[in-house]
Amino acid sequence: MRTALDALYHASGGLAAVFLGAIAAIVLLQVGFNVTDTLSSWIIGEPIGLVIPSYAEFAGFFLASSSFLALAYSLRCGAHIRVSLLLQHLPLRSRYVAELWCCASACAFSGYFAWYVVLLVIDSYRFGDVSPGMVPVPLWLPQAAMGLGLVVLTVALLDTFLSTLRIGPTDKTDEEIEATAEEDR
């Protein structure tokens, strides 16, 4: 099960990286078009008119997709901002209870948002909602990436909660716990 969950988190993170690459590609292509138009203006007196229709809108969709898809991977890698400054000063038992409470409440919030974003995707698909830009993009496509990211985040938070519950109170750091888990695999 651990291998499948880690593969899910890595796949989600990899897909987020693909969307970041897509942002870079579309922006660089548009910048290249702008440079070409400027050079054309200097050489022949008028721009060619090269443009990627709705490129800013696409970049925004890619950014939202990348951000949401990276959440679970970032959580499991320990890259999220955490309140360890506060937690490290608590007694061991209180730290354990606080960790469980944080994981449980975050899982509940994430599950709630995931549920409603999935419902939004279904509604957008059913009603045929499209973006208002030059290129009418079906809105369920970028919303689906958001929903997928939130569902995977909810799974990761539940995984973290259950791992914390299984390990019990410990004064080990997250890195030490992860190293121990790696040795057990």
Tens digits of pLDDT across the chain (185 residues): 888 999 999 999 999 999 999 999 999 999 999 999 999 889 888 888 888 888 899 999 999 999 999 999 998 887 766 667 777 788 888 888 888 998 999 999 999 999 999 999 999 999 999 999 899 999 999 999 999 999 999 999 999 999 888 887 765 555 555 555 555 55
Give pLDDT, residue 68. Answer: 96
At 64 the pLDDT is: 96
Q: Which residues contact 174 (CB under 8 A, 6 or more apart)?
A: 78
Q: How far apart, in Å, are the Cα atoms of 90 and each of 9, 59, 102, 157?
A: 30, 43, 14, 22
Interatomic CA distance for residues 99 and 119, integer angstroms: 30
Tokens of 50: 């090269």
CA angle 11, 172, 152 (to 5 degrees): 20
- DSSP helix/strand/coil, 130: strand
- pTM, two decimals, is 0.84
φ, ψ at 138 (rounded to 5°): -60, 125
Q: What is the pLDDT of residue 182?
A: 59
pLDDT of res. 98: 87
Q: What pLDDT is attached to residue 49? A: 83
Sign (positive or negative) of CA dihedral 84, 163, 107, 14: positive
Boundaries of every domain in the chain: 2-184
**Residue 94 confidence (pLDDT):** 85
Dihedral over alpha carbons 165, 108, 111, 184 (to 10 degrees) = -10
Helix, strand, coil fractions of the chain, as percent rounded to 5: 80, 0, 20
